[in-house]
Structure 1
């Protein structure tokens, strides 16, 4: 689709911009890698708890073992009715659009005994 002159020109200009900025990016990357990692880690220990990689891997294995015990099921929508998609507060899920919700509501009310009930029993 992108074959117009404008898009070709924009692609060309982006390529030239990349060429122009490449030395700056490379210098910035080398500077970031050249910083003293030990000093950064010491600063990080003041802010957060630093855990060695071996312990993290060991904990990950333990977590996976727990996940297999409960079959890996997530209970996010465990309180939601599977047939009507309503939760305990009578709310539909956020992903459901209004048309789908209205359709389900119509089905639900049709089963109760009619779509609309005329209170005064008038013809119109």
Structure 2
């Protein structure tokens, strides 16, 4: 790619901007390292405590839902065939697009021995 005058000028001006902003950036980094993140976190936590209640981690590890202990696993649809993705009513999942569904349907019909009819194709 050719080096145009415009790109050279832009590169030069970016370098000038870096030189100008370097002391401010260095001061900001030193300030962040000097606080070691403790002061900033305390200030944030004070603001959060006014809005929400904090719960200790020990209470979060053991969840109880309606008197039953939750093992942390998602409640997935267990009635869906893992190979064809069909549920008990013969429906594909909502996240699957039509192209994927058609592809799986073609594979399913090819296995049965019947030929999958293409509606848009010719009759012969």
Bin for the TM-score computed over the shorter chain: 0.3 to 0.5
When normalised by structure 1's length, the TM-score is 0.44
Higher helix share: 1
When normalised by structure 2's length, the TM-score is 0.44
Higher strand share: 2
